[in-house]
Amino acid sequence: DAGVIQSPRHEVTEMGQEVTLRCKPISGHDYLFWYRQTMMRGLELLIYFNNNVPIDDSGMPEDRFSAKMPNASFSTLKIQPSEPRDSAVYFCASSFWAGGQDTQYFGPGTRLTVL
């Protein structure tokens, strides 16, 4: 398996523009997580899905952020409009419960820079 795939790997945009981050989870995994990582705040959970349904979006910072999972193999995180403070590395992770243990597998991340 190729692991969790994220695109783009790097995104540079200007304030006010729309940004869409993409994630393909590992096949067969039933949970998908979106995280944001910054030096100041560390790893923050933004939202997670179970079987394509959003379960908890309490970590989404504000209405400018939205996430969708139209099917089991694809999810998007959208920021509209983007602001400089959104600059961070965004990770997608997927997991599957097996043998009493749940392991989250992280993608390589998307480094977002908002100018």
Q: Which is nearer to another protein, 81 or 108 (CB)?
A: 108
**Contact assessment for residue 87 and residue 112, using Cβ atoms and an 8 Å cutoff:** yes
Supply the minimum distance, in Å, between the C-beta of residue 24 and another protein: 14
| Segment interacting with another protein (CB under 8 A) among 20-28, 61-69, 72-80, 106-114 | 106-114
Cα 50 versus chain centre, distance: 14
- Member of 65, 109, 112, 114 binding another protein (CB under 8 A): 109
Cα 94 versus chain centre, distance: 10
* 3-state SS string for 55-99: EECCCCCCCCEEEEEEECCEEEEEECCCCHHHCEEEEEEEEEEEC
- Size of residue set near another protein by CB under 8 A: 22
Mask of contacts with another protein, 58-97, x by CB under 8 A?
A: ---------------------------------x-x-x-x
CA distance 100 to 87: 36
Q: Which is nearer to another protein, 71 or 101 (CB)?
A: 101
Q: Which is nearer to another protein, 81 or 105 (CB)?
A: 105
